[in-house]
């Protein structure tokens, strides 16, 4: 059909050229454009009756359990006697359907393949375009948290990703709530975080003001009704700070321990039932019973080697502070506190041999830099500051063995009030209050004196109107001859000042009581 149309256009063009040869080049271009227009128009009209297959939702990848709707249609005008079949991998899969759509529920990877529609009408047939359907297993969400050990009150960022990214995902965020210890199948319930009820478009979720140890999970969802991905493994944000509801203490108080040393982890706080948990790489979460013995609220580590993060969980849903512990068969270890040390406090680090002897011929290192190599057997920091935070280790000076302890992170927390600040604050507060009171008193006194001076001026002015000879007025010339009062002249104001002293005899006022003399100065600038 298209070949015939092209041939027809070619003949029409030859005829027009033979009749219009006198036209200029511009007309020739016009004819070429006209030819292109006719050709595209006929081509469009030829395709206007094509069969079309679409799918909803129009995603490149589907997952096990999702649904898809096939829509077979003929563009433009079509009669009611069309029927179609859906072909899957060139095999008739859904024959003789008159409805324009067909919904396929509960997809599985077995539905992968190529699909197209094939229309029939009184011996005429039309084949649609081909769509390739890709169905994968249900994806699993992966959660990461940063940082894992935030400073108290800092922000924590949760990042949720899906194994097989695709369009249309929203993200849901949950916090982990510990279940009672006797529930061994699933240790946590999960509660939606505020702002996550309807999912978030962003794969990042920021938690402000993180103060305590907490666990989080996430999952993704799309469609209506919502199809959910698998839930992520719980991820934890750890805090070394103690809290009143739950706390963990370690005995002996050290990050590093020898393999034969018994280590006791004790839970304290507002609860009657406790469990101790540990997180070890790569992403393994264990109970005390996996590597020790739980007696009441105390877990005793019996395994010869162990390294991880430990914390307590209560039946009331509380998390304790978390601690890092390393327990291996070393020749020597660094003895350093398991909990963060507050700024301004004193701390002592030492190095022990596996017999329990404190070694003296050792050098101490911080972040691989030598910081002490004298005869002292301990490293003492009299007033800890944030700059002291880092990785510490000790090395024996004897070149015959060259024993070295593992590294341990020494953490420093900001004190609510440093040394001396607690005593300075009340003093500054009292001084500030007293200063404010004094300023108020001075202001009131100034207003009182100003009001009194104004009233006295009014009285003096009345006396002047009644008898100027009885007043003791000092004119401008007299003031200029009195340098001690020349500073009263300023601006356009009338300043008043009391001058003490008795009235001289002979001025007609000897029978009146002694009074003050007022200066009435009119300053003209």
Evaluate whether 51-128 and 330-417 have a shared fold: yes
Asked if 228 and 162 touch (Cβ cutoff 8 Å), the reply is no
**How far apart are alpha carbons 31 and 13 in whole angstroms?**
8
Phi, psi for residue 199 in degrees, rounded to 5:
80, 160
pLDDT, mean of residues 460-484: 40
Fold of 51-128: Immunoglobulin-like (2.60.40)
pLDDT, mean of residues 499-513: 37
pLDDT band of residue 17 (cuts 50, 70, 90) is low
Would the pTM count as exceeding 0.75? no
Number of H helices, E strands in the chain: 4, 40
pLDDT at 456: 57
The residues that bridge with 518 in the sheet, in sequence order, are 498
Asked if 110 and 202 touch (Cβ cutoff 8 Å), the reply is no
Element of type H or E holding 2: helix 2-19
Spell out the domain ranges in the chain: 2-36, 51-128, 141-237, 330-417, 443-522
Residue 357 has pLDDT above 90, yes or no: no
Asked if 278 and 265 touch (Cβ cutoff 8 Å), the reply is no
Residue 301 has pLDDT above 60, yes or no: yes
Confirm or reject CATH 3.30.1330.60 for domain 141-237, answering yes or no. Answer: no
pLDDT, mean of residues 85-92: 92
Asked if 89 and 133 touch (Cβ cutoff 8 Å), the reply is no
DSSP 270: S
The residues that bridge with 278 in the sheet, in sequence order, are 286, 310
pLDDT band of residue 512 (cuts 50, 70, 90) is very low
Which is nearest to 221 in space by CA: 174, 187, 175?
A: 174
Least confident interval from 26-35, 47-56, 274-283: 26-35
Least confident interval from 146-160, 420-434, 474-488: 474-488
**Higher per-residue confidence, 518 vs 308:** 308
Summarize pLDDT for 194-249 with one digit per residue, the tens: 999 999 999 999 999 888 999 999 999 998 889 999 999 999 999 988 877 899 99
Superfamily for 330-417?
Immunoglobulins (2.60.40.10)
Which is nearest to 494 in space by CA: 459, 518, 466, 467?
A: 518
pLDDT at 185: 56
pLDDT at 14: 61
Residue 369: CB atoms within 10 Å:
7
Phi, psi for residue 210 in degrees, rounded to 5:
-70, 125
Residue 426 has pLDDT above 80, yes or no: no
């Amino acid at each position: 059909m298209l070949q015939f149309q092209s041939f027809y256009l070619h003949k029409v063009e030859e005829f027009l050229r033979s009749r219009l040869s006198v036209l200029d080049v511009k007309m020739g271009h016009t004819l070429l454009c006209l030819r292109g227009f006719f050709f595209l128009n006929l081509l469009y009209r030829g395709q206007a009756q094509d069969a079309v297959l679409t799918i909803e939702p129009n995603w490149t990848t589907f997952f096990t359990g999702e649904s898809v709707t096939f829509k077979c249609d003929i563009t433009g005008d079509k009669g009611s006697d069309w029927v179609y079949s859906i072909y899957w991998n060139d095999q008739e899969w859904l024959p003789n359907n008159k409805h324009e759509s067909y919904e396929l529920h509960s997809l599985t990877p077995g539905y992968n393949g190529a699909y197209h529609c094939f229309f029939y009408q009184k011996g005429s047939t039309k084949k649609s375009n081909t769509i390739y359907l890709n169905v994968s297993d249900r994806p699993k969400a992966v959660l990461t948290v940063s940082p894992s050990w935030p400073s108290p009150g800092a922000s924590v960022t949760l990042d949720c990703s899906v194994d097989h990214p695709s369009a249309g995902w929203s993200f849901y965020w949950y916090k982990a709530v510990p279940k009672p210890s006797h529930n061994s199948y699933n240790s946590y319930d999960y509660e939606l975080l505020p702002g996550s009820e309807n999912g978030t478009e962003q794969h990042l979720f920021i938690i402000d003001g993180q103060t305590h140890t907490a666990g989080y999970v996430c999952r993704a969802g799309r469609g209506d009704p919502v199809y959910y991905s698998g839930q992520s493994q719980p991820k934890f944000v750890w805090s070394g700070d103690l809290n009143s509801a739950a706390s963990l203490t370690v005995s002996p108080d050290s990050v590093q321990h020898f393999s034969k040393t018994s280590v006791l982890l004790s839970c304290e706080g507002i609860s009657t039932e406790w469990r101790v948990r540990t997180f070890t790489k790569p992403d393994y979460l264990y109970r005390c019973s996996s590597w020790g013995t739980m007696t009441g609220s105390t877990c005793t580590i019996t395994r010869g080697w162990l390294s991880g993060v430990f914390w307590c969980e209560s039946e009331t849903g509380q998390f304790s502070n978390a601690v890092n512990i390393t327990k291996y068969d070393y020749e020597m270890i660094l003895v350093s506190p398991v909990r963060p040390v507050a700024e301004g406090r004193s701390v002592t680090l030492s190095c022990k041999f596996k017999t329990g002897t404190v070694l003296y011929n050792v050098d101490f290192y911080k972040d691989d830099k030598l910081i002490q190599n004298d005869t002292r057997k301990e490293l003492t920091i009299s007033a800890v500051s944030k700059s002291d935070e880092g990785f510490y280790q000790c090395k024996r000076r004897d070149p015959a063995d060259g024993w070295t302890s593992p590294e341990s992170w020494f953490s420093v927390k900001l004190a609510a009030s440093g040394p001396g600040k607690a005593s300075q604050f009340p003093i500054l507060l009292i001084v500030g209050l007293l200063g404010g009171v004094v300023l108020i008193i001075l202001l009131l006194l100034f207003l009182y004196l100003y009001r009194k001076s104004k009233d006295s001026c009014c009285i003096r002015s009345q006396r002047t109107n009644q008898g100027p000879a009885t007043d003791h007025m000092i004119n401008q010339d007299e003031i200029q001859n009195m340098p001690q009062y020349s500073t009263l002249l300023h601006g356009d104001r009338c300043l008043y000042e009391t001058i003490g002293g008795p009235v001289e005899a002979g001025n007609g006022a000897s029978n009146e009581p002694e009074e003050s003399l007022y200066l009435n100065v009119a300053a003209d600038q």
